[in-house]
Amino acid sequence: MVQSLADMDRDLQQAFRDLEEIVAEVVDLERAGAVLRWDQETYMPTGGSESRAQVLGTLARLAHARFVSDAVGELLAKLKPALEELDPESYEASLIRVTAREYEKLRKLPARLVEEQARVASVAQVVWAEAREKQDFGLFQPHLERLFALAREIADHLGYPNERYDALLDLYEPGMRTAEVEHLFTALKERLLPLVGAIGEASRAGKGAVDDTFLRQPYDEAGQWELTLRALRAMGYDFSRGRQDKSAHPFTIHFSPDDVRITTRIIPDDPLSALFSSIHEGGHALYEQGIPRALSRTHLGEGASLGVHESQSRLWENVVGRSREFWQFFLPVAREVFPAQLAGVTVEQIYRAVNRVKPSFIRTEADEVTYNLHIFLRFELERAVLNGQLEVGELPAAWDDKMESYLGIRPPDLARGVLQDIHWSMGSIGYFPTYTLGNVLSVQFYRQAVQEEPEIPQAIARGELMMLKEWLRRRIHVHGAKFEPQELVRKVTGRPLDPQPYLEYIEGKYSDLYGLKMG
């Protein structure tokens, strides 16, 4: 076993450098596309959308063509035998392994299809925003139909063990199967659905009630913005290597570890919306800012998977941001910015207010307990459409029916129903389950962090969020995408993905809040 290619033959070394060069070119093209997408969501004038779609299509096609070229295939064939000798955790072995995995997957896709998908999605996003505003699903429907058709075509090219959904899911969560998602979701449903029911009953009986009228008053935009900045700075988000803007749908995007941007959305009467959005995106951003520069012009220079990514955002948003400790630190900060609105509010009061469980229409604003139900719904609907059991045109009604069955409420309009999320318009189909994976992992990781550094909760209460950030950096971020998600979870926690810690956390926290006696 050798540590690095420096000990190996010159031919191999040259092949490795050639591979690095091609991969760097591909990553540069992908990053250029990322800047264009950021611009599209933040500042682009509406007139720009048609040309933007063309340029994004061209960039996607060129990146893809270069990556799946014969040159890469030949270099990988030359380099793969070296994997026998290299330390599998070394940069070199990881680059060869991950590049080979991506190459095998992506070369099955024709360049034409990649370009078309990028182009169609770029236009569809603009149409989605318009359709949402006009409450007109018909406007969006042909675009969504095209995107589902393309997703099917992509799945067919990629191949799959059981169903098309497997192929798409694997793009976001390498190694994960639809059946595993279904199994996990069933386990979660078994305990979350009764919990939601019990909380509802307790609420109706007046238990866990809290006066949160202080949240339902005007919080001016400048103050809300300031509050998000203070939270982000406390988390250690580096503004010299990132920035925050506004967009219709908050997101994080990275152009390198030194330029990782987030967006948020401000709602005048709801100060928690922007704050938790920013903390959530800040969690994603810390991950990207924490990935070593040395990995940055390769496909190792990003998160391990979308599920692992979401574990970081949900960890900060919920496990930290909705904890008593966080508000011990943050309530005085918030009171500096909004002295009138928060006068006399106690930590216990705001802790209860930010953890109020109430079935609601918008996923991104859902409480921790009902959040996953929104995901189950999306997973089941998109899987049904993909499998041909449901037509795109039937989605609005099917959405509303499922909302009623899971959450007992029916969306009053499309913006609070099927048109609320940007993701399908981006062609991200097979992606929603990663949100629930993220929830589950967030607790598994946090529990491990506290086990290794029991001081973390008290540090949070003192506003020293860096202790947690540094742990995450050291144990998770530093690896980038060197390991597949399951490997990483095992490496960090010593166990596979496990819903038990998450269920215990949720049941413990909310039994306490709502005075329930659990099983």
Residues assigned a catalytic role: 281
Identify which of residues 38 and 435 has a Cβ nearer to a second copy in the complex.
38
Q: Which helix (H) or strand (E) holds 433?
A: helix 433-452
Identify which of residues 239 and 408 has a Cβ nearer to a second copy in the complex.
239
3-state secondary structure of 287: helix
The pair of structure tokens assigned to 460 is 């949070």
Place of tokens 């191949």: 159
Identify which of residues 23 and 319 has a Cβ nearer to a second copy in the complex.
23
- Residue 330, CB-side half-sphere exposure with 13 Å CA sphere: 28
| CA angle in degrees (0–180, nearest 5) for 447-241-442 | 15
Place of tokens 């988000």: 237
Find the shortest distance in angstroms from Cβ 261 to a second copy.
Answer: 8
The pair of structure tokens assigned to 26 is 């591909």
Binding mask of the shown chain, residues 447 to 486, with x at each position contacting a second copy by CB under 8 A? ----------------------------------------
* C-alpha separations of 253 from 98, 175, 230, 309, 365 in Å: 21, 24, 20, 12, 21
Find the shortest distance in angstroms from Cβ 355 to a second copy.
Answer: 34
* C-alpha separations of 310 from 9, 116, 256 in Å: 41, 28, 19
Sheet harboring 244-246: ordered strands across?
A: 244-246, 259-264, 252-256
Q: Tell me if 52 contacts a second copy by CB under 8 A.
A: yes
Indicate which single residue of 16, 19, 23, 33 sits in contact with a second copy (rule: CB under 8 A): 33
Find the shortest distance in angstroms from Cβ 26 to a second copy.
Answer: 9
Tell me the pairing of strands 244-246 and 259-264.
parallel
Indicate which single residue of 8, 12, 22, 55 sits in contact with a second copy (rule: CB under 8 A): 55
Identify which of residues 242 and 499 has a Cβ nearer to a second copy in the complex.
242
Q: Tell me if 47 contacts a second copy by CB under 8 A.
A: yes
Q: Tell me if 54 contacts a second copy by CB under 8 A.
A: yes
Q: Tell me if 498 contacts a second copy by CB under 8 A.
A: no
The alpha helices in 159-247, defined as continuous H runs, are: 164-172, 178-204, 221-235
Q: Tell me if 118 contacts a second copy by CB under 8 A.
A: no
Segment interacting with a second copy, rule: CB under 8 A, options 52-60, 330-338, 364-372, 427-435: 52-60
Indicate which single residue of 13, 20, 22, 48 sits in contact with a second copy (rule: CB under 8 A): 48
Identify which of residues 293 and 410 has a Cβ nearer to a second copy in the complex.
293
Identify which of residues 63 and 465 has a Cβ nearer to a second copy in the complex.
63
Indicate which single residue of 5, 19, 23, 29 sits in contact with a second copy (rule: CB under 8 A): 29
Indicate which single residue of 43, 197, 388, 478 sits in contact with a second copy (rule: CB under 8 A): 43
Identify which of residues 249 and 297 has a Cβ nearer to a second copy in the complex.
297
Identify which of residues 52 and 322 has a Cβ nearer to a second copy in the complex.
52
Binding mask of the shown chain, residues 229 to 268, with x at each position contacting a second copy by CB under 8 A? ---------xxxxxx-x---------xx-xx-x-------
- Of 190, 147, 148, 151, give the one whose Cα is nearest residue 168: 151
Indicate which single residue of 117, 296, 313, 372 sits in contact with a second copy (rule: CB under 8 A): 296
- Of 506, 214, 326, give the one whose Cα is nearest residue 514: 506
In b/e form, how buried is each residue of 75-114, taking b as 16+ CB within 10 angstroms? bbebbeebeeebeeebbbbbbbbbbbebbebbbebbeebb
Identify which of residues 67 and 399 has a Cβ nearer to a second copy in the complex.
67
Q: Tell me if 39 contacts a second copy by CB under 8 A.
A: yes
Find the shortest distance in angstroms from Cβ 239 to a second copy.
Answer: 7
Q: Tell me if 45 contacts a second copy by CB under 8 A.
A: yes
Residues 6+ apart with CB under 8 A from 427: 117, 120, 121, 124, 147, 150, 151
- Residue 297, CB-side half-sphere exposure with 13 Å CA sphere: 11
Measured distance CA(403)–CA(409) in Å, rounded: 6
Find the shortest distance in angstroms from Cβ 243 to a second copy.
Answer: 5
Measured distance CA(493)–CA(513) in Å, rounded: 28
Find the shortest distance in angstroms from Cβ 240 to a second copy.
Answer: 5
Measured distance CA(471)–CA(334) in Å, rounded: 26
Residue 159 near residue 167 (C-beta atoms within 8 A): yes
Number of residues that bind a second copy (CB under 8 A): 39
Segment interacting with a second copy, rule: CB under 8 A, options 55-63, 124-132, 361-369, 391-399: 55-63
Place of tokens 């020293």: 464
Find the shortest distance in angstroms from Cβ 32 to a second copy.
Answer: 5
Find the shortest distance in angstroms from Cβ 72 to a second copy.
Answer: 16
Q: Tell me if 62 contacts a second copy by CB under 8 A.
A: yes
Q: Tell me if 215 contacts a second copy by CB under 8 A.
A: no
In single-letter form, the type of residue at position 259 comes to D
Find the shortest distance in angstroms from Cβ 47 to a second copy.
Answer: 3
Q: Where along the sequence are the contacts to a second copy (CB under 8 A)?
A: 24-25, 28-29, 31-33, 35-36, 38-39, 43-48, 50-52, 54-55, 58-59, 62, 238-243, 245, 255-256, 258-259, 261, 296-297
